[in-house]
Amino acid sequence: MKRSLALSSCIVSLMAGHASAQTAPADTRQTDTQPRGEPAGATSAAAPATPESDSPSPGAEIVVTARRRSESIQKVPISIIAVTGETLRNQGVQDLKQFSSFAPGVSINNGRADGGGTTAQIFIRGVGQNDFLIPNEPGVGLYVDDVYVASSSGALNSLGDVQSIEVLRGPQGTLYGKNTIGGAIRITTVKPDLDTFSGNATVAAGSYNRLDITAGVNVPLGGDVALRLSAISRNTDDLQKRYLSRDGDGQGNINQDAVRAVLLWKPSSTFDLTLSGDYTRIRQHQAYGGNIGYVAGASPLVDVLNNEYYPTINAALGLPANARFDARWATAPGAVGATGPNADHYDVWGLSAVANLALSDDISLKSITAFRRVKGFAGRDGDSSPYPLLETVSYDNNKQFSQEFQLSGSSIDDRLKWTTGLYYMHQDLENRIVANLWSGLVTTSIPIDFDARSLSRLSGNTYAAFGQGTFDITPRLHLTAGLRYNREQRNFRNDWFFLVQPRSYTCPGVDVNGVFIRCESTDNVVTPAASLSYDLSPTKLVYFSYSDGFKVGGWTPRLFSQQSLRRYLPERLKAYELGLKTSWFDRRLVFNIDVFQSDYTNLQLTTIQADSTGAPQPTVQNAGAARIRGIESDLTINLDGGTRIQGGLSYLDGEYRRLDPGVSFPLSAELPETPKLSLSASIEQRIELSAGGRIVARLDGTYRSKTYKEANNVEAIAQRPYALLNGRVSYTLPSDKVTFSGYVTNLTDKRYIVSAIDVASTFSLYEAYFGRPREFGGEIAVRF
């Protein structure tokens, strides 16, 4: 808390000294820094986004750069969600988990509990990845300023100084650095402004001793150089207690600090260079949740511990002599009896250089060079008891370097707009696990030691060449075609060993059939994409698209035996989409709808199976083939009098078409993280006051139908249908420089599961983690 106050004091003091330089906030309706009409790859310095400003005026056009050139969102023949930084702030969104509530068909959670509360598990249209450990790769690409974020660990940090977020549904790769099978999320931050000194600061306080501070300042350093500095600090108390904890710590707090510096050099109209550096510090406790249900007799190993070992250690633990591991410890999300690991500590930082060079009036070259580093650990007590039954600590030390070149332009009297590119990424990923599982079992009548230690290393190279072009066959008929060549090389090393009863399992190694597995792979894959769109009128567009996605294969990361030492194959997805985009009455009414089908093969899922000895084995395997069909639509209505109504819908119908041998669930099972129905709706009312100033009131609602959290469809950890309501009221002074706001999130205090795992057959419990409860508070935003 002291660190947050010091950080804010420095920045606010700097801004206060220049208050006389106040200017009106710029219109930031664009969702990227490229103005309309500039060639692809060109950039201009966007004015800093304000911390609390109006939503775009009725009829305002939203411009996106999803296809590497600036276009109206209504002219892009793909399914896309675009949200400006102002809208995010008006909705009270501060991280990606909150953002996904307002994006139907998109699920962003922290995934498996052993990965910590800031590890990203992202699904779009039912496609993603439910396991964070290497060598598993995300199913949805996350980009920050066009830099691919390879590591899921620590990726769910705070959203500070954001200009826009774009969500592209379906496979991507003919325009983007990394091939992604389920879609892409592009986060664009605010860029420096060469002309104007400006800044903003926001302080928010609320429930659970919330204190959030954000600040940004833009400093022109000369005619062709500008610097932007921004910072965010988020802090709340724990949401639940650990009533046996000696240090007084609980679970579910927020403690994140992040800083970003961006330097823009634009010596001429044909060249600019942007240098960026960011650092995020996460020092939180275990996520909000834990053991929610005890299943008596489900695990013979737990029964043995209850009968033979726990009675011998109860006195040392300060427990009654007849204490056992049973339903008394299944109290999450209330106070829990956990005494084991309790941490979500990560340091995330990155550097990037983006250069743009206009080679001619019609052709431009762009270079994106980046390095990112993630280091830290996540520790959790999964059994929520003082017994060392299910305790893990996962350490990550991940590095990535990437280089991308894009050549973009237009030809044939501007009828052909095209982009080609080359992409390279090298990853060095390392994960260490300390797992205390059924500790003490070795002293019982089942003398087996499962207290494991592991060291996994992945060295990988990605090479790609891609290209896409859009040709205007006629002024109203447009053909887009793209192609990507992927070469993915992986070298995986995995050592699992047990200390009490020394034994180890390795990759590379010999499987149970005596075959030596090298744990090396090279995949060469070509993925095409194409679309045909037709302008029914200047404000109405119909399109059909096809895209092909690919995700690299790998090996089971948790190697409890040699039985699972085999490679799971790459995933493949072919998506077909038919869409209609319409605008009416000078864009006061916007309605879009699309239908799609995704043919999904070699799904990679993590399930817990017993090996040949009966020991549990979390195995990543190719589950088989599935088909996902769906409908998506969004609606915006801008009424006279300052009223705006928005809504979104996603309907998903997913089914397995074929299951591979050994899969632990039936063909009738539902796909995980694939709710049939997702809805979002909002209403915003602007009131311009006669004396100056304005009031903005907003209500947001979301709904998700029943969602299974894992492949086996266990009802105890399935999330039943639920709805969330958020409200916010803001008053801006006549000077347009200061805004006061009040907010409430999760108004009805709905309790809902965001991630869960079924470990009943192995640990006699269900483990689940929850979204945040009702919170309310106030906020002051200042800008100049």
User: Quick one: pLDDT at residue 618?
Assistant: 75
Give whole-number Cα distances, 747 to 139, 649, 724, 772, in Å: 32, 21, 7, 11
Tell me, what's the pLDDT at 59? 53
Structural contact between residues 294 and 765, judged by C-beta atoms closer than 8 angstroms = yes
Query: Contact, 523 vs 552, CB < 8 A?
Result: yes
> Residue 43 corresponds to which tokens in the numbers above?
């950039």
Q: State residue 49's pLDDT score.
A: 39
Query: Which segments of 65-206 are extended strands (E)?
Result: 71-72, 80-84, 106-109, 121-124, 140-144, 147-148, 162-169, 183-189, 198-206
Segment holding 316, helix H or strand E: helix 310-317
The domain ranges of the chain are 2-783
Q: Which of 178, 177, 174, 72 is nearest to 481 (CA)?
A: 174
Q: DSSP letters of 389-439?
A: SEEEEEEEEEEEEEEEEEEEEEETTTTEEEEEEEEEEEEEEEEEEEEEEST
2-783, CATH topology level: Maltoporin; Chain A (2.40.170)
Cα angle 461, 463, 467; round to 5:
155
Position 40 scores a pLDDT of 32
Among the listed residues 455, 376, 388, 242, the one whose alpha carbon sits nearest the alpha carbon of residue 763: 388
Give residue-wise pLDDT tens across range 421-467: 999 999 999 999 999 999 999 999 999 999 999 999 999 999 999 99
Output b/e per residue, 151-186; b: 16+ Cβ within 10 A.
Answer: bbbbbbbbbbbbbbbbbbbbbbbbbbbbbbbbbbbb
What are the structure tokens assigned to 454, written together? 């592991």
Are the C-beta atoms of residues 763 and 299 closer than 8 Å to each other?
A: yes
Residue 721: cis peptide before it, omega within 30 degrees of 0: no
Provide DSSP, 670-734: PPTT--SEEEEEEEEEEEE-TTS-EEEEEEEEEEE--B-SSTT--GGGPBPPEEEEEEEEEEE-T
Convert the pLDDT of each residue in 739-784 to its tens digit: 999 999 999 999 999 999 999 989 999 999 999 999 999 999 999 9
Ranges of residues in the chain whose predicted pLDDT is under 50: 1-56
State the Cα–Cα distance between residues 484 and 466, nearest whole angstrom. 4
CA distance 82 to 70: 13
